[in-house]
Amino acid sequence: MEYQYPISIDWSTEETIDVMKFFDIVERAYEKSVPREEFMAVYKRYKEIVPSKSEEKTIDREFQDVSGLSTYQVVKKAKSKETNERLSMK
C-alpha cells in the first residue's frame, strides 16, 4: 500500500524501522494472515518504543486515517486468540 506511516522524529532509525515493521504486520493481518506469536513479538517491540496508551491511540488514529486499517483491532484480536493460531482480519 502507498501511504505515509505516522512516525516520530524523536525515534532513532532502528526504532522507526521497528515501528514500520509493526505497521507492515498489521497490513499483512488484513491482507492475508500472520502467525499470532510473530505479531505479538513485533507488537511487544512496538510497545517498547511507544509505551504510552495515549500515544498508541494517537498513532492508531493517524494510521487508520491514511490506511483505513486499525492497529487497535488487530491487537485486540491477537490478545483474544490462542497461542498457535494464525491472525487474520478478513
pLDDT at 66: 93
Residue 83's DSSP bridge partners are none
Position 65: which residue type? D
Q: 13-87 in CATH: which number?
A: 1.10.220.80
Mean pLDDT of the chain: 93
The reported pLDDT for the residue numbered 83 is 73
Distance CA 42, CA 24 (A): 10
pLDDT at 25: 97
**Which position has the higher pLDDT, 41 or 1?**
41
pLDDT tens-place string over residues 14-58:
999 999 999 999 999 999 999 999 999 999 999 999 999 999 999
Residue recorded with cell 487508520: 64
Q: What does the pLDDT read at residue 4? A: 84
Cα 89 to Cα 12, 21, 49, 74, distances in angstroms: 30, 17, 24, 7
- pLDDT at residue 1 tops 60: no
Residue extents of the structural domains in the chain = 13-87
Question: Residue for cell digits 501511504?
Answer: 3
Per the structure block, which three cell numbers stand in for 15? 526504532
